[in-house]
Every structure is written in structure tokens, then in C-alpha cells.
């Protein structure tokens, strides 16, 4: 039976530039050192449970906390802890990091064993113990997502394999290379959370992924694969839920309020492997691409590896990079240094040359309305930009600024190249700070 798809309002069609879609994932070896931050998720930071000089093994716990919204952190290598100290990572406030000198032996910690899962409670405990946080980029602890308030009756598990950001192909490779694990992970989540159906949403520019997933679920009527029209930001949770179910997530609410839970395709695949082996989250698949990268590829990297070493593994730079981005070109974050480590929710590194990275100069808004048409959240981006630039922070709340998902569609559509998202981030930051006071 063909599913009826719903088309979300707005969105844009940036060039896809998925150059690495056919590049099978290559495993990167053990780096010269790993630096593992104690904040890799939305929520409370972990506290280190190791100290300088301690020997550690692969999969050994190195950070945890009793805070509800959090996820434990594990060593990705065997070796010796060389420091536990606060560092500035990517322009943030200082974060405690555990640095480990690998011994190259990659000895697995004795406590790495498949969890015993015989109830929903044990399943959720295992999900927390795995260290899993949303691997699509959000970094929300998965054990909380899978345990919504009892009054919200979830009936649909949505698997996000849309991957609508230009350049990024790591989820596409996950679908092609780890199809059985994806299906097994979905079955496990459905079984233990009692969600009766699952839909895997994949954009139609990934035909091989759609074919492999469709074949793998052909005998499982509760799981469907749905081919979505390629349109950015199709992979944003609210857009995906609407496209696949026709349900709207109310402003300020969560997918569970629309009876859905959304998981990234890499998250379910990881979960299946964790339940089988007990090896927690210690590595990440990334797309490394951009006009300044010599050999773009998809690569599986140990968490804590520096971006410099990942770039070196990809042959280094072909030309002087003007901008390094963590993530895609639409929503990614420009990085100040190559010494920043890979963490759980990283899915791409882009290095762009001067021409590709050039930011056109802003010119005055001509009130053309293209940003409004492009906005999937029904906002007035030009007005938010104007109010923030005029320091009129009193009024921005009335324009639902907190609904903005920072997708950048408005900026992409704007002929005056207004830096609308920057204004919106400033405005949200101001609201957060004033509400806290």
C-alpha cells in the first residue's frame, strides 16, 4: 500500500553536493591521542571517574553523573589518562576533558558484556548505559526520549534517514552498509516501548538506501520505508513527522505530543549492536568533504580524535581552507581550530576554500517576502532580523522566535543575504538570559 505523503510548507533546494554517497565507510585507526569532553549531550555534564595516570581500556566508563538528563561517557581507546582538565572547545565555556594516550592495543574493558534485557525498565536502563544520545546531531539522551510521560500515548516510531543537509552522506552509508542492524534496532525499540508501527523516512535522492531497507523489511508489515521528496529541511523532526503522518507538533511541544518518537537511523543501528555486544558508544561515522579536502570520504572515527587527524587521514587539504564546519553548510558550526575532538553527535566535517566559504555582504532588506515563503515554521524571518538588529528584544517574543529551528532556509532564499540566523541566535540568547534572571 502506498503511503500518503504530506508536504510541509516552505523549505529550499540547495545544491545537494553529495559527492561521497558512493564512498563506502573507511575505518580510521587509533589516533595519537584522544580528548574526550564530559559534555557531549543536551543536559548535565558528566563528572570524570578517572584521574591522570589511570590505565583505561576500550569501553570503560570515564564520565557519568546522577543527573536525569545526561548520558555516560566511555573511553574509545586503551591506554593511560594523561590529563583531566577544563578546556575551551569550539568557543564554548570551559569543559572538563579527559585526555588519553592510546597504547595501540585496543584492549576491551572486562565489563563490556551484552546487557540482560527482560523488561521495559531493563531496556531503558541498558539504553542509558550504552551512552547513546541522538546521533543525527541533536545529542538528546535516548533513554529519556524513549520514556515519554505516561499520558502521551506514542503509536509511531519514526526513523530519520532523510539526511537533507547538502554534502552529508553518513546516514546514507549507514542504511546501505548496516541494513540488518537498523531493522533489528527498530524491532528492539518497538518491542520494549510497545510502539506498534515504525516508518523509515528516506529522501528520494538515496535510491540504494531505499532499495536495501525496503528489501530488509518486506516481511515485516509493522515497518514501512517511505521515500520523501528531497527538500531541505525535510529531516527536521517536525517536518518529518508531518510528511509521514500528517500530524503537526504544536509550537513548544515535543514529537511525543504528536504520538511520535523520532530516532536517527544510526541510533537504532548502534542500539542493535550494543544489545548484542555491550560495547557502548565510542565511535562515530562522519562525512569528510568540501572543496578544500584532498580525498573526501565517509570515515568511522574513535570519539575524541582531533579534526586535524581526521583531515590528515583524508589526505590533508588540497588548498588552504577558508572555513571548517562541523556539520552541514546549512546548520553546521564554523570551527576556530582543528584541535577540536569528534564527539557523539558529529556527523560531518566540511573544509571549504575561499570561494566556497565567501559570505556575501548584507544589503538592506527589500521586503520581497522570500524568507517568509522559505520558512518551514511559519515565522517572519525579516521581522525577527529587524527587531534584533534594532535591539528591540521586548517584541521578539511576540514573533515566536523560540519556534525557529535555525535551519537557515530564510538566509538561503534571501537575495539581500541578510544574516537572519545570526540575529535569531542573538535574540534567543537574549531571551534565555533575561528569563533566567
- Contact residues toward ligand SF4 (CB under 6 A) are 365-371, 374-377, 379, 381-382, 385, 404-410, 413-416, 418, 420-421, 424
Q: Tally Cβ neighbours within 10 Å of residue 274.
A: 23
> In the complex with ligand SF4, which residue's Cβ is closer, 62 or 371?
371
**Of 407, 238, 417, 428, nearest to 329 (Cα)?**
407
Q: Compute the least distance from the CB of residue 242 to ligand SF4, in Å.
A: 14
Q: Compute the least distance from the CB of residue 206 to ligand SF4, in Å.
A: 23
Alpha carbons 69 and 234: distance in angstroms, whole number: 27
Q: Compute the least distance from the CB of residue 402 to ligand SF4, in Å.
A: 10
Q: Compute the least distance from the CB of residue 250 to ligand SF4, in Å.
A: 16
> In the complex with ligand SF4, which residue's Cβ is closer, 71 or 365?
365
Alpha carbons 184 and 177: distance in angstroms, whole number: 14
Q: Compute the least distance from the CB of residue 83 to ligand SF4, in Å.
A: 39
- Judge contact between 89 and 96, C-beta under 8 A: no
Sign of the CA dihedral running 290, 292, 298, 299: negative
> In the complex with ligand SF4, which residue's Cβ is closer, 79 or 376?
376
- Judge contact between 384 and 425, C-beta under 8 A: no
> In the complex with ligand SF4, which residue's Cβ is closer, 33 or 238?
238
> In the complex with ligand SF4, which residue's Cβ is closer, 13 or 276?
13
Q: What is the dihedral of CA 352, 355, 356, 360, to 10 degrees?
A: 130
> In the complex with ligand SF4, which residue's Cβ is closer, 280 or 381?
381
> In the complex with ligand SF4, which residue's Cβ is closer, 10 or 31?
10
Q: Which letter does DSSP use for residue 386 in this model? A: H
Q: Compute the least distance from the CB of residue 374 to ligand SF4, in Å.
A: 6
Alpha carbons 247 and 245: distance in angstroms, whole number: 5
Q: Compute the least distance from the CB of residue 431 to ligand SF4, in Å.
A: 14
Alpha carbons 185 and 203: distance in angstroms, whole number: 21
Sign of the CA dihedral running 413, 418, 420, 425: positive
Alpha carbons 434 and 421: distance in angstroms, whole number: 20
List Cα–Cα distances, 120 to 99, 163, 185, in angstroms. Answer: 35, 30, 15
Amino acid at each position: 500500500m502506498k503511503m500518503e505523503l504530506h508536504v510541509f510548507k516552505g523549505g529550499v533546494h540547495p545544491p545537494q553536493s553529495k559527492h561521497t554517497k558512493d564512498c563506502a565507510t573507511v575505518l580510521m585507526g587509533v589516533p595519537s591521542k584522544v580528548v574526550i569532553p564530559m559534555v557531549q549531550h543536551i543536559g548535565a555534564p558528566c563528572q570524570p571517574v578517572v584521574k591522570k595516570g589511570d590505565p583505561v581500556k576500550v569501553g570503560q566508563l570515564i564520565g557519568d553523573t546522577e543527573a536525569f538528563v545526561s548520558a555516560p561517557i566511555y573511553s574509545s581507546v586503551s591506554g593511560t589518562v594523561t590529563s583531566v582538565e577544563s578546556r575551551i572547545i569550539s568557543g564554548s565555556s570551559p569543559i572538563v576533558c579527559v585526555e588519553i594516550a592510546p597504547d595501540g592495543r585496543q584492549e576491551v574493558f572486562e565489563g563490556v558484556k551484552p546487557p540482560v534485557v527482560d523488561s521495559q525498565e531493563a531496556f531503558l536502563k541498558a539504553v542509558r548505559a550504552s551512552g547513546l544520545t541522538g546521533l543525527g546531531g541533536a545529542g538528546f539522551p535516548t533513554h529519556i526520549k524513549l520514556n515519554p510521560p505516561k499520558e502521551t500515548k506514542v503509536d509511531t516510531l519514526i526513523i530519520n534517514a532523510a539526511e537533507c543537509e547538502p554534502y552529508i552522506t553518513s546516514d546514507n552509508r549507514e542504511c546501505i552498509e548496516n541494513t540488518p542492524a537498523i531493522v533489528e534496532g527498530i524491532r528492539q525499540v518497538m518491542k520494549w516501548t510497545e510502539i506498534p508501527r515504525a516508518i523509515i523516512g528516506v529522501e528520494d535522492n538515496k535510491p540504494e538506501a531505499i532499495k536495501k531497507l525496503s528489501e530488509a523489511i518486506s516481511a515485516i508489515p509493522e515497518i514501512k520505508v517511505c521515500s520523501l521528496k528531497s527538500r531541505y529541511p525535510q529531516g527536521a523532526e517536525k517536518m518529518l513527522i508531518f510528511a509521514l503522518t500528517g500530524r503537526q507538533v504544536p509550537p513548544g511541544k515535543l514529537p511525543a505530543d504528536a504520538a511520535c518518537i523520532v530516532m536517527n537511523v544510526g541510533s537504532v543501528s548502534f542500539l542493535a549492536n550494543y544489545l548484542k555486544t555491550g560495547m557502548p558508544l565510542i565511535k562515530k561515522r562522519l562525512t569528510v568533504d568540501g572543496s578544500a579536502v584532498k580525498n573526501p570520504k565517509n570515515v568511522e572515527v574513535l570519539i575524541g580524535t582531533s579534526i586535524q587527524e581526521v583531515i590528515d587521514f583524508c589526505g590533508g587539504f588540497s588548498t588552504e581552507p577558508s572555513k571548517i564546519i562541523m556539520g552541514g553548510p546549512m546548520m553546521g558550526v564554523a570551527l576556530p581550530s582543528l584541535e577540536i575532538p569528534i564527539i557523539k553527535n558529529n556527523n560531518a566535517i566540511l573544509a571549504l576554500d575561499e570561494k566556497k566559504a565567501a559570505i556575501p555582504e548584507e544589503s538592506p532588506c527589500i521586503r520581497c517576502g522570500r524568507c517568509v515563503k522559505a520558512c518551514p515554521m511559519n515565522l517572519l524571518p525579516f521581522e525577527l532580523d529587524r527587531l534584533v538588529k534594532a535591539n528591540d528584544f521586548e517584541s521578539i517574543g511576540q514573533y515566536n522566535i523560540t519556534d525557529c529551528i535555525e535551519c537557515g532556509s530564510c538566509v538561503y532564499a534571501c537575495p539581500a543575504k541578510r544574516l537572519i540566523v545570526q540575529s535569531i541566535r542573538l535574540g534567543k540568547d537574549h531571551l534565555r538570559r533575561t528569563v533566567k534572571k
